Chain A
């Protein structure tokens, strides 16, 4: 397996270099320094900043330098806006994102799989139709609507009507968010993160349930199900033991695809609940044309994508003995 992982990593090096190349070219299509400094900047200021950032060097030199920084995990370059190193911004923004996305993923995966199994179990009958109706209904509503209504009904109204400050509308200045692990403290997590997690779970459940149900239903037509039935296995055992195990490959694929997004965070939730996660940091960097942050974050996300792809292949082999890592 380790040989396979190593081989895959080596194969993916050119892919990653290509991604970095395309990303760096794309970020330089229009002059990032002029865009950042804005309309009042003089040519002299633009030139000074360009030299300061090393953007006056030939592209190939910039490319080699950046790749060198990635290889040595050197993310010490400062963002243009808040002058904090890209590495520090990554380190401080990943934990808040994970505080929302990991519980959301785990909870929504468990609930969705359970609901999907129930729907598949009652395929074509009322429970199936009802659950799928709810799922489609849930999918049809915009994420933003859930966030706005969630904030209003979940945080604001209880404060107004019940005088109970259970969930925060948003992270206020009084919260000590300079500590990246702040959101992982249990009472802080409940106050600041639980409502976004609930909203995220509700939003993703519709999509996930439909997907998992489709996977389960497809499995019900397989030969091994017919065999199990012929051998007298109960319907419940067929569904929850035989079928679930065999359906794991598409489920793992689905979950692993979600992994990079987990780390990238949920932009909408982070923006509305003022959670200083990776998604919000990246969006702010884009809005403020903070070139080093955009470049650094994109490179890290690309690496996470590649690693999660390799992990997906490894997990296939772990859950399905028919898959060989060769």
Chain B
């Protein structure tokens, strides 16, 4: 009997081993190792909602679309705050101070081969493709992104009103601001010389799409990307994965030259493949992770090229005190990079609120007192693992107008409880006496509750009572848009790397329900804003930025500011990596070294 049992057990073990062996074999095939160079990267959350750039809005739509489509201009890999031509032969020029821009398309750029083209061969891009792609933003397909171009191009708004928003827009109807010189050269005339238009042309929503593809795939175009990008879609399983293969006909794009890299980047050997043609990898595979645990373990097992360090795992990876990678990772060849985001994290005041709003010296003193009582470092330690960057003014680090070292000449940054008490008395509320509780609107997340409790505690130190209103996000927006929230918690991430984007948040005509949620209105400020939005970068423009910044600090329509730092771990097998969230077209510069993968 025992013998039979033993034999059965042995057979079972053998069968299981065989099954497991074959499973493991299958697994190796799945992760794509072998002759092809495959880059595996994660997407946190459930991934893109659409692969149609005109309809995209999230960072994940951006991340996916940038592999298939390209824009006229693109951020530089070696310096992501700067731009370079991508589908253009050169940076656009202007002869009339920025009202009319001249564009020359790069020769040799073809759309992906796709059945939507005659013979299945992708054709060269033309001026009409650019006009068509921009016009799509003025249709229902691009309704979400219309704000990017609203009022910017001569005749585009009229085209949108007359045909764009109908069931079948007439794309052949002319737009006065689109002037075709030839298939390779064109002009765009703006309604006013708004400098940010150049940044808009680098945003993925303005990517050039093929009209044939849109018309062939119709409603399903969102899942049939046909662009000029370095990769061609292979599979997209929504909320699960996205894979793409190298575009064999990708136009000539080279890795940045050695002198484009900073000394620190050169020390990290990022310049090594300088001048080589990209992309380097044959295939790219995105897996969408919602919980942090599998993401973390898959990176640990060497199956992902890089990850953003999830907050709960921060101390496992990085030494908070030294900001260096823990030896467990460093010994395995993992490297660490950080990226300071263009964030403006703040608490806003409604300047029309009878209690906290207004421009009188007393009202200003009240807001300054509140500002002086805030300890941003406490928020930083408790909510951002001490990794956020605290600064004065609304302009994030790295941009013109940002104060040196984050500290402006004029500042009401706390904690300075003595001065806060003085200001409070100046406002007519000594020790907070006579001051009604201030309603503070914030969302219901645990994170917000935690920060609000800290804020409440900080204000109690000077006798100011905060009355938190925890509401769902749509109610929060509704209260802010309808000017019913005396104070509110928001954050702003710059759409493009120019302080103008943040200064626009305080421009009078943009008052609620527009982006000026503070309802800040100063004629002098508005005049300066109107001046800077047509100015290219210059010392003169920076000086105006600084004046506007200091005006805001003095009036204190918000409490702030703070910018988050992202930390990334990079696997030893993912080469040439410079992680940035400014744009997502950088995977084409990345290479892989399979010999450095775990065996």
Seen from chain A, the residues whose Cβ lies within 8 Å of a Cβ on chain B are: 34-35, 39-42, 44-45, 48, 81-84, 148, 151-152, 155-156, 159-160, 163-166, 168-178, 186-188, 190-191, 194, 271-274, 276, 280-281, 284, 287-288
Q: Are A148 and B293 in contact (CB under 8 A)?
A: yes
- Taking the complex as formed, is B6 at the interface, i.e. its CB lies under 8 A from any CB of chain A? no
A288 to B238: give the CA distance in the assembly, Å.
13
A171 touches B240 (CB 8 A): yes
Query: Shortest beta-carbon distance, B179 to chain A, in Å?
Result: 30
From residue 33 to 67 of chain B, which have CB atoms closer than 8 A to chain A?
38, 40, 46, 49-50
| Cα of A281 to Cα of B237 in the assembled complex, Å | 12
Asked if B222 and A83 make an inter-chain contact with CB atoms under 8 angstroms apart, the answer reads: yes
The interface stretch among B16-24, B108-116, B416-424, B546-554 is B16-24
Check A190 against B19 for contact (C-beta < 8 Å): yes
B239 A156 Cβ-Cβ under 8 A: no
Q: How far apart sit A148 and B243, CA to CA, in the bound complex (Å)?
A: 27
CB-CB under 8 A from A276, the residues of chain B are 237, 239-240
User: Are A155 and B297 closer than 8 Å at their CB atoms?
Assistant: yes
Asked if B294 is at the interface (CB within 8 A of a chain A CB), the reply is: yes
Nearest B residue to A288 via CB reads B46
In the complex, what residue of chain B is closest to A163 when comparing beta carbons? Answer: B599
Which listed residue, B140, B240, B294, B477, touches A48 by the CB 8 Å rule?
B140
For the complex, what is the distance from the CA of A165 to the CA of B222, rounded to whole Å? Answer: 36
Contact A156 B300, CB 8 Å, known A39-B474, A272-B294, A284-B46: yes
How far is A166 from B24 in the complex, measured between Cα atoms in Å? 5
Partner of A284 from B239, B286, B287 at Cβ < 8 Å: B239
* Complex contact A172–B22 (CB within 8 A): no
Query: How far, in whole Å, are A45 and B144 apart by their CA atoms in the complex?
Result: 8
Q: Which residues in B have some Cβ–Cβ distance to A below 8 Å?
A: 19-20, 22-32, 38, 40, 46, 49-50, 140, 143-144, 147, 219-220, 222-223, 235, 237-243, 285-291, 293-294, 297-298, 300-301, 303, 473-474, 477, 598-599
Q: How far is the CB of A169 from chain B (nearest CB, A)?
A: 4
Partner of B24, one of A175, A177, A191: A191
Assuming the contacts A45-B144, A187-B23, asked whether A169 and B297 have C-beta atoms less than 8 A apart, the reply is yes
The answer to whether B28 touches A187, judged by C-beta atoms less than 8 angstroms apart, is: no
User: Do residues A156 and B297 form an inter-chain contact, with CB atoms below 8 A?
Assistant: yes
Distance in angstroms from B170 CB to nearest chain A CB is 18
Q: Is the CB of A174 within 8 A of B30?
A: yes
A39→B477 contact, CB < 8 A: yes
A84/B297 contact (C-beta < 8 A), A165-B24, A173-B243, A288-B46 known = no
Asked, given contacts A156-B300, A173-B286, A177-B240, whether A188 binds B294 with beta carbons under 8 Å apart, the answer is no
The answer to whether B477 touches A159 (Cβ under 8 A) is no
CA distance A176 to B26 in the complex (A): 11
Contacts of B40 in A (CB 8 A): 172-174
Question: Which A residues touch B46, using CB under 8 A?
Answer: 284, 287-288
Contact of B32 among A35, A174, A186, A280 (CB under 8 A): A174
| Docked pose: A177 CA to B285 CA in angstroms | 13
Residues of B within 8 A of A175 (CB): 30, 241
Using known A-B contacts A172-B40, A276-B239, determine if residue A191 contacts B23 with beta carbons closer than 8 Å. Answer: yes
Considering the chains assembled together, what is the distance between the CA atoms of A195 and B19 in angstroms? 14
- Is A274 touching B301 in the complex (CB atoms < 8 A)? no
| A274 with B288: CB separation less than 8 A | yes
* With A34-B474, A39-B474, A191-B26 as contacts: A82 and B297 at CB distance below 8 Å: no
The A/B interface has a contact count, at CB < 8 Å, of 134
**Are B23 and A190 closer than 8 Å at their CB atoms?**
yes
| Minimum CB–CB distance for B587 against chain A, Å | 13
Contact of A151 among B19, B235, B238, B294 (CB under 8 A): B294
A170:B289 contact, CB within 8 angstroms: yes
Taking a contact as CB atoms closer than 8 A, the residue among A41, A83, A187 that contacts B223 in the complex is A83
The CA of A148 and the CA of B292, in the complex, are separated in Å by 10
B294 touches A81 (CB 8 A): no
Complex interface: chain B residues within 8 A of A35 (CB): 474
Query: A83-B219, A272-B293 are contacts. A165–B27 as well, Cβ < 8 Å?
Result: yes
Distance, CA A159 to CA B289, complexed state (A):
20
Given known A-B contacts A188-B26, A284-B46, A173 and B294 have beta carbons under 8 A apart:
no
For residue B44, give the distance in angstroms from its CB to the closest CB of chain A: 12
Report A-chain residues with C-beta under 8 Å of the C-beta of B239.
81-82, 276, 280-281, 284
Least CB distance, A275 to chain B, in whole angstroms: 9
Inside 8 A of A166's CB, which chain B residues have their CB?
A: 20, 23-24
A42 vs B144: C-alpha distance when bound (angstroms) = 9
Can you name the residue of chain B whose Cβ is closest to the Cβ of A84? B238
Q: A170 to B22, alpha carbons, bound, how many Å?
A: 18
**Residues of A contacting B38 with CB < 8 Å?**
174
- State how many angstroms separate the Cβ of A224 from the closest Cβ of chain B: 33
Which residues of chain A are near B147, meaning CB under 8 Å?
A: 40
Q: List residues of chain B with CB within 8 A of the CB of A177.
A: 237, 240-241
Question: Is B238's CB under 8 angstroms from A82's CB?
Answer: yes
Contacts of B29 in A (CB 8 A): 174
How many angstroms between the C-alpha atoms of A34 and B475 in the bound complex? 12
Q: How far is the CB of A289 from chain B (nearest CB, A)?
A: 11
Q: List 30 A-B contacts (CB under 8 A).
A: A81-B49, A82-B238, A151-B293, A151-B294, A156-B300, A160-B301, A163-B598, A170-B289, A170-B297, A172-B40, A172-B241, A172-B285, A172-B298, A172-B303, A173-B40, A173-B241, A174-B29, A174-B32, A174-B40, A174-B243, A175-B241, A187-B19, A187-B23, A190-B19, A191-B30, A271-B291, A274-B240, A274-B287, A281-B239, A287-B46
Given contacts A82-B49, A188-B26, A190-B20, 4 further A-B contacts (CB under 8 A): A82-B239, A169-B301, A177-B237, A272-B294
Could you tell me if A273 and B294 are in contact, using CB atoms closer than 8 angstroms?
A: yes
Q: Complex Cα distance A62/B429, Å?
A: 57
Let me know if B242 and A173 touch, CB within 8 A: yes
A81 to chain B: which residues have CB within 8 Å? Answer: 49, 238-239
Residues on B with C-beta less than 8 A from A174 are 29-32, 38, 40, 243, 285
> Which chain A positions have C-beta within 8 A of B219?
83
B477: which A residues are within 8 A, CB to CB? 39
CA distance A273 to B297 in the complex (A): 11
With A148-B293, A190-B19 as given contacts, are A169 and B298 in contact (CB-CB < 8 Å)?
yes
In the complex, what distance in Å separates the CA atom of A165 from the CA atom of B297?
13
